[in-house]
Amino acid sequence: MKLEELISELLMCRRCGLCRNPIDVEHGIDGACPVWRNSTGFETDFARGKIQVALALLQGNLDVSPEMAKSLYRCTLCDNCSAICPAGLEIAKLLEKVREFVSSKVYVSEKHAAIVESIEKYGNPYLTSPEKRFEWLGEDLSKMPDEAETVYFVGCTTSLRTPEIAKATIKILESTNTDFTVLKNEWCCGSILLRVGFRNEAIKAAEKVVKAVENTGAKTVITSCAGCFHALKYDYPELLGDIGFEVLHTVQFIDKLLKEGKLRLNKLSERIKVTYHDPCHLGRHGLVYEEPRDVLKQISNLELVEMVPNRQFSMCCGAGGGLKLLEGELAVKIASEKIKKVLGMNVDALVSACPFCKYNFIEAVSRERTNLKVYDIVELVVKAIG
């Protein structure tokens, strides 16, 4: 997108301010910007003010410096603001473009420099040696075939922070006799690079991933990470053109298996009441709202209650858009707000479909000193497989 185009689009924000903290109970709206609600709450803490700062930077009225640009990165890119925007702006997308402009000139934080370097060196943003990526799989990694119909793209966060999600996913794939493999040289999908404005570096990562998938001959890639899902399904075609394979999130894959009768779920041994958190990349960005709910409803002895807001107006977990990297405390504070809400619902567990959401929620649960359980949906599916 050219600079002038970006400026023109941003100027379509006519500053109504609905993106700050709208509450409209009859329409299931209860807030929009998690950052505004959990910070000092200046104008620069939600979309309207960020757009003014972005315009000033792009039009040369404000120096592009880490100090002046930092508010543009204090955002989870959850896009709840776009869900309410009467002008129909795609704010997360626009902010990514603005970040690209900024990140091409300065590193807003040393942490950004570090993840760029880490991904280039290790293939993950966690400064972790690549050998550790499949530690959770142990010796089974070598048994994975070189070619398969389906690739399970695990993702950095699942592998290195929430490997229980990967183990559960593998169990589901095995129990349904899916012809699958993993990418033995799996590389970061590049999502975080795109979110914080390093497009060229993201293209390199995307090319590596696509090449690796091509080598397996797979027609389908499934991933249990909402961030990877968004990158592969929506960003890759934009970055690279046709990628030649279908991308599904695990909840879509499981839902399909259930609906085709290829997977049966048993009764859980213990009754459980849960609520579901819509990950932003899966819900608002991918419009995958019903599949996870349909899957949960197939599990007997599980009661699903909806929190409000949900679906397109769901509040973000706080981890996305590079916020957890840049302002970890704020990210956990946002998650804590949601955890407190869930605690008021008298449920046993909070279920999500994204390792990053789970990771952040777990931190918040510990902060709130509660025994609320946090599951990824695949973990409950595995429990129901028995």
Partner 1 sequence: MPKKEKMKELAKRIREIVGEKHVSDSLDVLIAYSVTASIGFDSYMPDLVVKPGSTEEVAEIVKLANEYKIPIIPRGGGTGLQAEALARRGGIILDLTRMDKILDINEENLSVTVEAGVTFGKLDKALMEKGLWFPIYPESSLSATIAGNVAVNGAGPGSALYGCIGEQILGLKVVLPTGEIITTGSMANPNSPGHYLRYAFGPDITGLFIGSLGAFGIITEVALKIYKRPEEFKHVTYGFEEAKGAMEFLRQLLLNNISVLHACIYEGDILTFFIELLGEEYGIPKVEWPPYVVSLTIGGRKDIVEHDFELMESIAAHIGGRNLDVPQFPRGEWTDRMRVYAKASYMHPFYWRILYHHAPIMRWNKAAETIREVLEKYGLLGHTSGLMSGRSYNFYPHLYFYVDDKEAFEKVKQAHAELASKLLKIGCVPFKLAPYWIGEIKKLREYYGFLRRIKRVLDPNNIMNPGVFLED
CA separation for the pair 164, 167 (Å, rounded): 5
Provide, rounded to whole angstroms, the least separation between the CB of residue 139 and partner 1: 52
Taking CB under 8 A as the criterion, which residues in 71-110 touch partner 1?
Answer: 71, 84-88
CA separation for the pair 284, 330 (Å, rounded): 22
Contacting partner 1 (CB under 8 A), which of 12, 113, 127, 141? 12
Taking CB under 8 A as the criterion, which residues in 18-47 touch partner 1?
Answer: 18, 20-27, 29-30, 40-44
CA separation for the pair 322, 270 (Å, rounded): 37
Residue 3 lies near partner 1 (rule: CB under 8 A) = no
Name which of 55 and 114 has its Cβ closer to partner 1: 55
DSSP 23-34: EEGGGTEE-S-H
Give the type of residue at 237: P
Total of residues contacting partner 1 (CB under 8 A)? 39
SS (H, E, C) 306-321: CCCCCHHHCCCCCCCC
Provide, rounded to whole angstroms, the least separation between the CB of residue 37 and partner 1: 10
Residue 330 lies near partner 1 (rule: CB under 8 A) = no
Taking CB under 8 A as the criterion, which residues in 153-212 touch partner 1?
Answer: none
Is 329 buried (19+), middle (13-18) or exposed (0-12) by CB count in 10 A? exposed
The residue among 349, 353, 253, 257 whose CA lies nearest residue 303 is 349
List the structure tokens of 71.
Answer: 């508010």
Tokens 């400064």 found at: 127
List the structure tokens of 303.
Answer: 């009661």
Length of the chain: 386
Q: Are 124 and 220 in contact (CB under 8 A)?
A: no
- Kind and range of the H or E element at 221? strand 220-223
Provide, rounded to whole angstroms, the least separation between the CB of residue 22 and partner 1: 4
Compute the Cα dihedral for 357, 362, 363, 368 and give only its sign: positive
Provide, rounded to whole angstroms, the least separation between the CB of residue 99 and partner 1: 15
Contacting partner 1 (CB under 8 A), which of 34, 49, 197, 283? 49
If you ran DSSP here, which 8-state letter would residue 134 be given? Answer: G
Give the type of residue at 301: N
- x/- site string to partner 1, residues 258 to 287, per CB under 8 A? ------------------------------
Contacting partner 1 (CB under 8 A), which of 2, 60, 61, 344? 61
Name which of 25 and 131 has its Cβ closer to partner 1: 25
Provide, rounded to whole angstroms, the least separation between the CB of residue 6 and partner 1: 14
Centre a 10 Å sphere on the Cβ of residue 14 and count the other Cβ atoms it contains: 10
Residue 14 lies near partner 1 (rule: CB under 8 A) = yes
Name which of 55 and 240 has its Cβ closer to partner 1: 55
Contacting partner 1 (CB under 8 A), which of 17, 28, 66, 328? 17
Provide, rounded to whole angstroms, the least separation between the CB of residue 11 and partner 1: 5
If you ran DSSP here, which 8-state letter would residue 130 be given? Answer: G
Provide, rounded to whole angstroms, the least separation between the CB of residue 168 and partner 1: 38
Query: Which region, judged by CB under 8 A, interacts with partner 1, from 65-73, 138-146, 185-193, 216-224?
Result: 65-73
Provide, rounded to whole angstroms, the least separation between the CB of residue 308 and partner 1: 10
Provide, rounded to whole angstroms, the least separation between the CB of residue 25 and partner 1: 5
Cα 172 to Cα 224, 343, 353, distances in angstroms: 12, 30, 15
Q: Hey, is 276 helix, strand or coil?
A: strand
List the structure tokens of 314.
Answer: 């769901």
Contacting partner 1 (CB under 8 A), which of 6, 38, 48, 253? 48
Q: Which residues bind partner 1 (CB under 8 A)?
A: 11-12, 14-18, 20-27, 29-30, 40-44, 48-50, 52-53, 56, 61-62, 67-69, 71, 84-88
